């Protein structure tokens, strides 16, 4: 299944705020679809529907395909610890997600484009793979080119990130960040119940 490239506001109206997908807000209050205004639009979801909705939040927020998300879930199960938290930590350690968290881009999709175009480095080496899994003590930086530095600097000013998580040490003058630790659950901007995502995949 390919990555979703359709209307983003339509997804956020259905699933709620998804900071990694888009920062825009729709003026429409009803749910998308022809039944969005009908009395039945607020009908109670089944247990499966609730788990599916939480899975969709994760998928669309991080811009993943179904097969990618399933691989992350399998990897989280394989590791020792709380599976739901490990899943979120794996997703937050993706290079495109870290660039978004640092304010290099206004969405994870835009961060993915920055990485694809070769603007981002890991330990001084250009990495063009958005799904690259960063490790502790890695240094995330910007390519030593004027066009790359100007682009990232302007993005940081426009995005105005309120606070960078403690697990990232960011030097704005050098446009470099060191990964000190894995993130805490409270540092994840997305509002969801990750345990329901694990339950969704428990039968596969």
* Same domain as 143, residue 116: yes
Residues 6+ apart with CB under 8 A from 185: 85, 88
Higher pLDDT, 134 or 33: 134
Q: Is residue 85 part of a domain?
A: yes
Q: Is residue 138 part of a domain?
A: yes
* Same domain as 130, residue 98: yes
What is the pTM assigned to this prediction? Answer: 0.86
Q: Answer whether residue 171 shows pLDDT above 70.
A: yes
Residue 135: domain span = 94-181
Q: Answer whether residue 141 shows pLDDT above 90.
A: yes
* Same domain as 170, residue 118: yes
User: Residue 33: pLDDT band by 50, 70, 90 thresholds?
Assistant: low
Q: Is residue 3 part of a domain?
A: no
At 41 the pLDDT is 52
Higher pLDDT, 189 or 96: 96
User: Residue 22: pLDDT band by 50, 70, 90 thresholds?
Assistant: confident
* Same domain as 132, residue 65: no
Q: Is residue 2 part of a domain?
A: no
Q: Is residue 1 part of a domain?
A: no
Residue-wise over 77-110: b if at least 16 C-beta within 10 A, else e? Answer: eeeeeebbbbbbbbbbbbbbbbbbbbbbbbbbbb
C-alpha 9/C-alpha 63 separation (Å) is 14
* Same domain as 116, residue 130: yes
* Same domain as 177, residue 110: yes
Half-sphere exposure of residue 39: CA atoms within 13 angstroms, side-chain side: 0
At 163 the pLDDT is 81
* Same domain as 81, residue 16: yes
Say which CATH number the domain at 140 has.
Answer: 3.10.290.10
Say which CATH number the domain at 51 has.
Answer: 1.10.1050.10
Is 107 in contact with 100 (CB distance < 8 Å)?
A: yes
C-alpha 195/C-alpha 204 separation (Å) is 15
* Same domain as 171, residue 116: yes
* Same domain as 112, residue 35: no
Is 95 in contact with 122 (CB distance < 8 Å)?
A: yes
Residue 117 CA to chain centroid, in angstroms? 19
Q: Is residue 116 part of a domain?
A: yes
Q: Is residue 118 part of a domain?
A: yes
At 42 the pLDDT is 57
C-alpha 203/C-alpha 189 separation (Å) is 28
* Same domain as 18, residue 71: yes
Q: How many domains does the chain have?
A: 2
* Same domain as 197, residue 171: no
* Same domain as 177, residue 99: yes
User: Residue 29: pLDDT band by 50, 70, 90 thresholds?
Assistant: low
Q: Is residue 117 part of a domain?
A: yes
User: Residue 16: pLDDT band by 50, 70, 90 thresholds?
Assistant: confident
């Amino acid at each position: 299944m390919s990555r979703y490239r359709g209307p983003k506001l339509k997804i956020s109206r259905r699933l709620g705020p998804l900071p990694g997908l888009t920062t825009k807000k729709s003026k429409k209050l009803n749910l998308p679809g022809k039944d969005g205004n009908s009395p039945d639009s607020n009908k109670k979801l089944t247990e499966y529907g609730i788990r599916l909705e939480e899975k969709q939040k994760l998928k669309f927020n991080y811009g993943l395909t179904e097969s990618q998300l399933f691989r992350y879930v399998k990897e989280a199960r394989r590791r020792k610890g709380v599976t739901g938290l490990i899943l979120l930590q794996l997703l937050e350690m993706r290079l495109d997600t870290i660039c978004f968290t640092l304010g290099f881009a206004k969405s994870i999709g835009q961060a993915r484009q920055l990485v694809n175009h070769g603007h981002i480095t890991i330990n001084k080496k250009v990495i063009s793979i958005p799904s690259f899994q960063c490790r502790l003590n890695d240094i995330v930086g910007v390519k030593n080119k004027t066009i790359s530095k100007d682009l990232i600097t302007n993005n940081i000013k426009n995005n105005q990130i309120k606070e960078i998580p403690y697990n990232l040490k960011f030097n704005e003058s050098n446009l470099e960040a060191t990964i000190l630790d894995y993130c805490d659950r409270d540092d994840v901007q997305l509002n969801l119940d990750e345990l329901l995502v694990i339950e969704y995949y428990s039968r596969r």
